[in-house]
Amino acid sequence: MGQEFHQIDCVLDAKAALGECPRWSADESKLYWVDIPARLLHCFDPATGTDISRGFAQKLACFALRRSGGFVLGLEDGFALLDHFDGEIEPILPQVEAHRPENRFNDGRCDSLGRFWAGTLDGTKKLANGALYRLDPDLSIRRMAEGVTTANGLAFSPDERRLYWADTPKHVVQAYPFDLNEGTIGTPRTLISFPIGQGRPDGASVDEAGFYWSALYAGNRVVRISPDGEIVAEIRVPALNCTMIAFGGGDLKTAYVTTARQGLSEEELAANPLSGGIFSFRVDVPGLPDHRFAG
């Protein structure tokens, strides 16, 4: 593994409690992201430094842009559609985990056929009752996997023959065989298991070379992992809790990292005053573009 020394910039000192789900809109050259406890969807313009937000009645944890415009959302109680940034949400029924009110959606993204894959977490952080769901363009919902405490790190390999999925408290990222046409996953194998106390795998993205970038919560860094599970580079971030990495800019070579400040002590905040901000650095290999929801 090599320590890579990139110029890290805090492009937005947002002081988010739990910044998450950065998604680059190529059409607008803007970065959308959420602050989960604040129930806010943000839109950040790197060219001007302007950031605007809108609120919801419940926590929004993940989303994807839609081909028709607007967003598909992963909320506390289920999926929903949003026609435009300031619009009203349109719930998609049924609520997938109405029988588990302590659960909520946590992390998700679309495959190239426009299906939205999203996982849930156990709000108590004690039970492995989180699951992975697939929302199809016809708005039908299928439960695809289960048995995790905090679903995270969902990403696809460039050829979409692998689906990556992490369970943060277990410090493990799994690689599932993925059949794009059928929309199914096979028996997983462990891509990487992180040592306890050195950061937990949170949100992730994949670059054009097929390397998996993982943001490490309580780890002060993001790491680049080969398809064989080897950490080939790590980039230090001046925030203790890194939550997700995404690629943007016209060439998809600008990495954006969201972070969190919730739960940090006064001493930890003093040592990491920019926690909750959005950071950026340049990479040599472009990231993969995020696909849009076809529904």
Q: Residue 143 to residues 114, 152, 185: CA-CA distances in angstroms?
A: 17, 16, 11
202 catalytic, yes or no?
yes
- The residue behind tokens 């842009």 is 65
Please give the full DSSP string across 23-57, using - where no structure is assigned: EEETTTTEEEEEETTTTEEEEEETTTTEEEEEE-S
- CA dihedral angle for residue 138, residue 143, residue 144, residue 145, rounded to 10 degrees: 160
**Alpha helix (H) residue ranges in the chain:** 266-271
In angstroms, the CA 113 to CA 212 distance is 21
Q: Which of these is catalytic: 202, 228, 251, 290?
A: 202
Q: Which residues contact 130 (CB under 8 A, 6 or more apart)?
A: 103, 106, 119, 120, 121, 122, 146, 147, 148, 149, 150, 151, 167
Write out the catalytic residue numbers. Answer: 202
